[in-house]
Structure 1
Amino acid sequence: VVFQAIRAIPRGRVAAYGEVAARAGLPGRARLVGRLLRESPRSARLPWHRVLRADGRPAFPADSEQAREQLKRLAAEGVEPAGGRIPARYFAWRSVDIDEALWGPR
């Protein structure tokens, strides 16, 4: 069910671990989503790069190879970070941040 929720994130959109958990019927189980992603076989071919921390930052340490790879894959889908974070407008299942919609990225 978690993998189905991850696969349901549209190209060019992202979701937080907690949002994926809620969509999978497991509210409050964000860490479980992270563990399942970490332990998933490559053959699962999941769009792991579309899953972020709740604050829009990559799931990995900022200067790590994994974070660079995640941002590279997102950029290939048209997702542009602002200040090291992915703006709310790219989140698939989140309502738009009204301040950001009116005044632009923070």
Structure 2
Amino acid sequence: MQPFTEKALQVIQNVPAGKVMTYGQVARCAGSPRGARQIARLLHSMSEKHGLPWHRIVNSQGKLVLADEEARHLQRTLLEQEGVEINRSGLIDLEMYRHNPDDSMV
């Protein structure tokens, strides 16, 4: 496994319940500031195998953007169960719910 992938998995696994991170934020923490799309692919291919809290990763505006309606509904449900408020447009207040890991966690 590549170092970026290992680091990204660690970052994602450390997002606590009730918080979210953006794809780009995870990529930056894992050492590739322009790797947001890589994070999306990693989540798609490795979430189940590694038990990742995939539902806690959102786009840079705090929006739920999964193309599949069922998956998007599941993401919304899981986040709401953790106490994350999502408005009618599918937006999360990143000021309130963004997880900002300190250097010791990542």
Q: Give the TM-score taking structure 2 as reference length.
A: 0.81
Q: Work out whether 1:65 is the aligned partner of 2:70.
A: yes
Q: Work out whether 1:25 is the aligned partner of 2:31.
A: yes
Q: Work out whether 1:15 is the aligned partner of 2:21.
A: yes
Q: Give, as a single letter, the amino acid of the residue that structure 1 aligns with 2:76.
A: L
Say what the alpha-carbon RMSD is for the aligned residues: 1.7
- 1:32-51 correspondence to structure 2 within 5 Å: 32-40=38-46, 42-51=48-57
Q: Is the 8 A contact 1:11 1:77 kept in 2?
A: yes
Q: Relative contact order: is structure 1 or structure 2 higher (C-alpha 8 Å, sep ≥ 6)?
A: 2
CA distance in 2, matches of 1:52, 1:78: 15
Offset of residue 74 of structure 1: 0.3
Q: Is the 8 A contact 1:51 1:59 kept in 2?
A: no
Q: Percent identity?
A: 37
Offset of residue 10 of structure 1: 1.3
- Aligned pair count? 93
Extract structure 1 runs of 4+ deviating beyond 6 A.
Answer: none
CA distance in 2, matches of 1:11, 1:41: 16
